[in-house]
Chain A
Amino acid sequence: MLRYLIRRLLAAAVILLVITVITFVIFYALPSNPALLACGKTCSPSRLAEIKHSLGLDQSFMTQFWEFFKGLFVGRDYGDQSLRVHCGAPCLGLSFQTDTPVLTTLLGDFPADLSLGLGAAVVFLVLGVGLGMVAAVRRGKAADKAAVGFALVGVSVQIYFIGLLLLFLFVDKWQILPASGYTPITQDPAAWFQGLILPWITLVIVYLAMYTRLTRSSMLEVFAEDYMRTARAKGLPARKVVLKHGLRAAITPIITIFGMDVGSLIGGSAVITESVFGINGIGKLAVDSVQNSDLPVILGTTLFAATFVVLANVVVDVVYGLVDPRVRLA
């Protein structure tokens, strides 16, 4: 098991390295002039060169990459003695816009995504697996049709539609909830919860559909397995056959998808939800940075999100090993 874990972690490190290289190459190849952007309206050629130099843009591609790569591990200093900015390891660069280390901004926005993503994920996993199981057990009956129909609606409607509808109903019309947004849980837990409840519901509706369908099909596949017949032939009650023997086998593909979804959700992929509900998360940061051509921030958010997806995959692999002895003992 330990060897398995080490193998997975090494593979994850390699993947991250590859992503770093690719993102950096794209960044470097972009036809924009960051120095010009940073220089502002009153720009002189000498000032431009100065900025170029302080950003390291006057160096070769290899040198720039090496500086960036080194910064990830040991940190990096920008600028000259007078206006020196230190960027501690792991340094993802400085924002052109704010001159602050990208990682600081990312970590500041991260709790919002963590709350949004994890909160919704727990609910849609539990509800989705539950509904999917009911649908599978009652295949072809009313409960199954209702679940499948609901799933279809969930897949079809868009986040901004549900989100805006919920906002209109709960905040504007009925005024049950205050305007949504993110308040740190450490600051005011009640406000944290109230501000996130509509975004959670929105994400749950969208993701629940997929988990219901996935669980249903996975469960139906397992029901056809010989070992399910064996479980019944032993005299196990139907409930135990489904919940113990069935779910144990059907849950593996769901774990895989769930891991990736959680990874990308807390890595900032809930960008539409963020913007509908006015939550300042990593998704919004990424969009803003693209609009401003703030390349270090684009690079940083990409790497940050990738790290979470890759880490989530490692976690999935480990859980897989725990669930399936054939993986663990292979």
Chain B
Amino acid sequence: MSLQTSPHPAQVAPASAPFLDVRDLRVHFPTEDGIVKSVDGVSFTLEKGSTLGIVGESGSGKSVTSLALLGLHKGTRAQVSGEIRLEGRDLVALPEHDMRALRGRTVSMIFQDPLSALHPYFTVGAQIAEAYQVHHRVSKKEARDRAVEMLKRVGIPQPDRRAKDYPHQFSGGMRQRAMIAMSLVCDPALLIADEPTTALDVTVQAQILDLIRDLQEEFGSAVILITHDLGVVADIADDILVMYGGRRIEYGSVRDVLTRPEHPYTWGLLESMPHIGGDVERRLNPIAGSPPSLIDLPSGCAFHPRCTFKGWVPHGLCAAERPELLAVAGTDRHIAACHLTAETKREIRGRRAAQ
């Protein structure tokens, strides 16, 4: 079997159907204190070769969403509903046995902290080879060669020698490269990167992001990048999904969302980010308060207790009614869920620009 053969099953989807179509995804965890609604009605689509950035604070449901895409909630107490259509096939309804065949092969994942995500007792080469061997009928030697090849591809010097090293012998950046090599070893159609640079030095972060982008071009995979760093998303994503309290709060192309953010939470995320070349004296403006409880979300707009602009909305609507996701005028698929009217937002923008 040639290493270049595409490993994806010939699942012919209707020409119009998106490669990945997530609809009304819900992941709920029943606990003694109540149901934790980690993901509560999330939808998005993604095409091959493009990148979606999912942004939000800790506890916004980003990682739980990604684990659902891998089917890793199967066999746990989590209740998953909605649809995850990958090339027309619904992963939510897929039995564990079939899902297992897709894991690592069609959908794979890069985890946040490569030191804890790699097994301390197996060599890096063996772990990558194992990921290949589980989906391909190849000899140990072939799998090993493939592992070395992948290590070389992600830019690890002396890959043949380094394959015999253990994770603790790698530097942080090299470990994440190895993790990426492992996740790409089966040439997946969908790659999920869960905060791939959070545990790394700033200098290494850019290298890793470049690597993911280069490899995406080379492999043509669809990429979901989970992060809390809008800067990272601006760099490499095509679309942005902003999550808050397990729900979508704003969704659209990078250009639309970053040049004309519609939700006060997205404004907050942007303002809490330092800008290179920005005024050094200017204070960063963090979002006040902390992420909401997923068992008992605030009424109405989940963000309203932390929102500085709720006073602009009359009749306490923010606390009373949950805003719908509405299309932003003049864009093609930019949507946001906020009670502020277009006029009010224009006024707020005008005032802020004047400051």
Contacts and interface: CB of A to CB of B under 8 A. Distances in A.
Contacts, number: 72
Contact of B105 (A226, A229, A235, A245): A235
Interface in B240-292: none
B120 A226 contact: no
B102 A235 contact: yes
A234 B169 contact: no
B108 A233 contact: yes
B121 A233 contact: no
Contact of B103 (A235, A248, A249, A323): A235
Interface SS majority for chain B: loop
Contacts of A249: 119-121
B100 A227 contact: no
Contacts of A232: 72, 103
A221 interface: no
A41 interface: no
Contacts of A248: 119, 121-122
A233 B135 CA distance: 12
A216 B120 CA distance: 20
A325 interface: yes
Contact of A326 (B101, B131, B135, B168): B168
B116 A233 contact: no
B118 interface: yes
Interface string A184-228: 000000000000000000000000000000000000000001110
Contacts of B168: 325-326, 329
Interface string A304-330: 000000000000000000011110010
Interface in A233-280: 233-238, 245, 248-249
Contact of B104 (A233, A245, A324, A329): A233
A230 interface: yes
Given A226-B111, A229-B111, A329-B166, A234 B119 contact: no
B148 interface: no
A237 B111 CA distance: 19
B182 A234 contact: yes
B104 A237 contact: no
Nearest to B131: A234
Contacts of B121: 248-249, 323-325
Contact of A230 (B75, B100, B117): B117
A235 B100 contact: yes
B117 A229 contact: yes
Count class of interface residues, chain A:
20 to 34
Nearest to B105: A235
A233 B193 CA distance: 12
A233 B120 contact: no
A229 B110 CA distance: 11
A231 interface: yes
B201 to A, nearest CB: 20
B109 interface: yes
Contacts of B113: 226
Interface string B20-36: 00000000000000000
Nearest to A326: B168
B150 to A, nearest CB: 13
Contact of B120 (A227, A234, A238): A227
Contacts of A235: 100-105, 131, 134-135
Nearest to A246: B119
A326 B111 CA distance: 22
B70 interface: yes
A238 B311 CA distance: 53
Contacts of A238: 75
Nearest to B115: A226
Interface in B42-87: 70, 72, 75
Contacts of A233: 70, 72, 103-104, 108-109, 111
Given A234-B130, A234-B131, A236-B130, A227 B117 contact: yes
Interface string B129-171: 0110011000000000000000000000000000000101100
Interface in B163-192: 166, 168-169, 182
13 contacts: A225-B116, A230-B111, A231-B119, A233-B111, A235-B100, A235-B104, A236-B130, A236-B134, A237-B100, A245-B122, A248-B119, A324-B120, A329-B169
